Structure 1
Amino acid sequence: MITQPLVLQQQPDWQQALRQMITDPTTLLQMLDLSEKDIAWQWDKQFPLRVSESFVRRMRKADPNDPLLRQVLSTPEESHSSNKYSTDPLQEARFNPVPGLLHKYPSRVLITLTSSCAIHCRYCFRRHFPYKKNNPGRQWDAIFSYLENQPDVFEVILSGGDPLMASDKTLSAFLQELAKIRHIELLRFHTRLPVVIPERITSTLLATLDNRFHTTIVYHINHARELIPQIAEGVAKIRKQGIQVLNQSVLLRDINDNVECLKNLSLALFKSGIMPYYLHMLDKVAGSEHFEISLAKAQHLQQALRESLPGYLVPKFVKELPNAFCKIPLETLTVSQFES
């Protein structure tokens, strides 16, 4: 009797990359030819180090002030937050009618499709988010039931965590069910995964995104050196599907808070097929105070960018406020709102 050899299904490259994430600060520093004498760091059990090998390879070796390194390495500065910083700076708990769904803006909702990311950014405003209570897994009935009864909602934003941490099979199943709600017309992904692990843009994912929705993908890139050719290749494939690709950044002290850096970022994004969209002022999440800059400096940077770039390459400088129904443009902010 002749038996067929057992064929093992190979994991997609992006999932293999996830299995090889850097989670030990000592290992990270060794990869960068740094030691504890060069840079102070601390363990954070609640929000530990998590970064891909690909992202680490974009960091400068032997540079403790590398802007990509500063985004991911926990330092003692995180312990120095004032009482203006909180675990829920946007008061999202108030806008959480069913597990896994946030409904703050009248016409759109945000769904935390997953609770995990491929990178732990030290300024993340959801670093303290109660994901255990808001990770629906594949139990979506309550979410779809809620949406059925919200006819004014026409856009669904998939976030998390990172929605592209979900498998293509899970995404496909979710979108098939979502497509049954006819008043949902717009679909938006907010993701950092294709930046951290460019292999995430698979042919299966692209087929999954070929659905009835008008789809936008918003990347999260803060510095031009995060961009590598593989990212542009993935963006080109996405745009061939008729999907818009935008970018949002966070304005961060000693990472991207100078005109030349922001100018280079906008130009690099555009050359990679990504349109600058938002530049967010820092959300006051506990542990991130050392990244804050002043309103006066933010206003100076905005004006300098307007003078340095064509208008379509200048991102919208905005701040999100807990009680507002839209993001607030920088030029309309008062000092008290900026510092709240």
Structure 2
Amino acid sequence: MKIQKTIKLNREKDSWLYEISNSIIEPKKLLKFLCLEKYPKYYDPKSKKIFPFRVPYSFALRMKKKDPEDPLLLQVITNNQEFLNNSQFNHDPVKERKDIVLPGLLHKYKDRVLWMLKTNCAINCRYCFRKHFPYEKNKGNKKNWMKILNYINQNIQLNEVILSGGDPLMAKDHELLWVITSLSKIKHIKRLRIHTRLPVVIPNRITSDLCQIFFNSTLKIIIVTHINHPQEINKELSDSLLKLKESNVILLNQSVLLKKINDNASVLAELSNVLCKNNIIPYYLHILDKVKGTSHFLVSNEKARSIISDLMKMVSGFLVPRLVLDDGSKNHKSIII
């Protein structure tokens, strides 16, 4: 195939893998990096048993030093409140485990499937709705991938595949080339949607090879980034987003409404404007999925409605993301509230 001849090893390809392997995996180390050793309330060694700690340096560099309320820090730092028990919070808040049809494949909606291509992430956000997902039973390996491709090929009502995880861009470029090439051979698949946070936390993940794969694909490629706060967007990320735009990739963004992080119309207005500047359409603003251990992030539905109402007065209508609450319904992706 023509595209395979253009894929070659280079230092650019290796840089993002190096960043992942050298991520911060201890809360104390991150706090020390930010000159916050005198704020031990955020650190609890037991919380790593609930959910591992991982933050790439490229993301940590965007945090403000000596600021214990930094909005990027609060998304990733451990918190004693993760141990609070609340009957409304559980291990499967969007009821997706019932939709697993094969290891790594969820089929909830008639015309699309969600493929958990990789089960790990470059960063572990403490509010993650899949922090208790049984990844050990849904491994992203070639054997399972072949079964998934066969399932997709046999279900002709499908027209879209969503790559998720973990983070699908944890797959190396040659793996993504194989997946995308395989999907493009299935006539009824028209679109490939990729939900990822990796380019946000490690912009170097957007390699020239990856952009070429996207550009040459016959599928319509949509990348849904996960950006919660304007502070997450720096020059390196802007440059990577431009490379994606020039590769004919449609860019959307989904955010999670998080207490003390972005539960403010002014912050969301700034985020929408910065997203627009970077060719990204604000797509969804999610009410927090009630996964066990995340109650300290919850913003009430009433406050969420009020925030959106204020946001509509600050930015153009196309810059207002849809406020959604996923209830795990079989017939609806989400409920607009």
Shared fold, TM over 0.5: yes
Q: What does residue 275 of structure 1 align with?
A: 281
Where in structure 2 are the equivalents of 1:118-133 lying within 5 Å?
118-133=122-137
- Tell me how far apart the structure 1 counterparts of residues 118 and 66 of structure 2 sit (CA, whole Å): 35
Q: What does residue 266 of structure 1 align with?
A: 272
Q: Quote the offset at 1:175 in angstroms.
A: 1.4
Where in structure 2 are the equivalents of 1:112-261 lying within 5 Å?
112-139=116-143, 140-209=145-214, 210-261=216-267
Q: What does residue 93 of structure 1 align with?
A: 97
What SS does structure 2 have at the residue aligned with 1:159? Answer: strand
Amino acid at match of 2:298: E
- Tell me how far apart the structure 2 counterparts of residues 116 and 240 of structure 1 sit (CA, whole Å): 28
**Unaligned stretches of 5+ residues in structure 2:** 1-8
Q: What does residue 71 of structure 1 align with?
A: 75
Equivalent pair of 2:119/2:140 in contact (CA under 8 Å): no
Identity of aligned residues (%): 44
Amino acid at match of 2:253: N
**Between Structure 1 and Structure 2, how many residues are aligned?**
324
Say which of 78, 84, 93 aligns to 1:80: 84
1:103 and 2:136 matched:
no
Q: What does residue 15 of structure 2 align with?
A: 13
Q: What does residue 30 of structure 1 align with?
A: 32
Q: Quote the offset at 1:132 in angstroms.
A: 1.2
- Tell me how far apart the structure 2 counterparts of residues 157 and 36 of structure 1 sit (CA, whole Å): 43
Q: How far does the alpha carbon of each residue in 1:151-177 deviate from its partner, in whole angstroms, 9 at most, with x for none? A: 111000001010101000111111121
Q: Quote the offset at 1:233 in angstroms.
A: 1.0
Amino acid at match of 2:287: M
1:289 and 2:306 matched:
no
- Tell me how far apart the structure 1 counterparts of residues 128 and 217 of structure 2 sit (CA, whole Å): 30
Q: How far does the alpha carbon of each residue in 1:24-77 deviate from its partner, in whole angstroms, 9 at most, with x for none? A: 111100000012545332231242110110110111111111110010011101
**Unaligned stretches of 5+ residues in structure 1:** 1-7, 332-340
Amino acid at match of 1:169: H
What SS does structure 1 have at the residue aligned with 2:266? Answer: helix
1:300 and 2:306 matched:
yes
Q: What does residue 52 of structure 2 align with?
A: 48
TM-score for the superposition, normalised by structure 1: 0.92
Q: Quote the offset at 1:329 in angstroms.
A: 4.2
- Tell me how far apart the structure 2 counterparts of residues 39 and 31 of structure 1 sit (CA, whole Å): 16
What SS does structure 1 have at the residue aligned with 2:310? Answer: helix
Equivalent pair of 2:326/2:335 in contact (CA under 8 Å): no
Q: Quote the offset at 1:298 in angstroms.
A: 0.6
Amino acid at match of 1:16: Y
Question: In the superposition, relative to structure 1, how do residues 59 and 254 fare at CA in structure 2: closer, same or farther (>3 Å)?
Answer: same
Question: In the superposition, relative to structure 1, how do residues 37 and 233 fare at CA in structure 2: closer, same or farther (>3 Å)?
Answer: closer
- Tell me how far apart the structure 2 counterparts of residues 64 and 38 of structure 1 sit (CA, whole Å): 10
Q: Pairwise CA RMSD of aligned residues?
A: 1.4
Amino acid at match of 1:31: F
Q: Which moved more, 1:145-154 or 1:67-76?
A: 145-154
- Tell me how far apart the structure 2 counterparts of residues 182 and 30 of structure 1 sit (CA, whole Å): 53
Q: Quote the offset at 1:295 in angstroms.
A: 1.3
- Tell me how far apart the structure 1 counterparts of residues 239 and 167 of structure 2 sit (CA, whole Å): 21
- Tell me how far apart the structure 2 counterparts of residues 117 and 24 of structure 1 sit (CA, whole Å): 16
TM-score for the superposition, normalised by structure 2: 0.93
- Tell me how far apart the structure 1 counterparts of residues 317 and 332 of structure 2 sit (CA, whole Å): 22
Q: What does residue 315 of structure 1 align with?
A: 321
Over 4 Å off, 4+ runs: 8-11
- Tell me how far apart the structure 1 counterparts of residues 153 and 333 of structure 2 sit (CA, whole Å): 26
- Tell me how far apart the structure 1 counterparts of residues 273 and 36 of structure 2 sit (CA, whole Å): 31
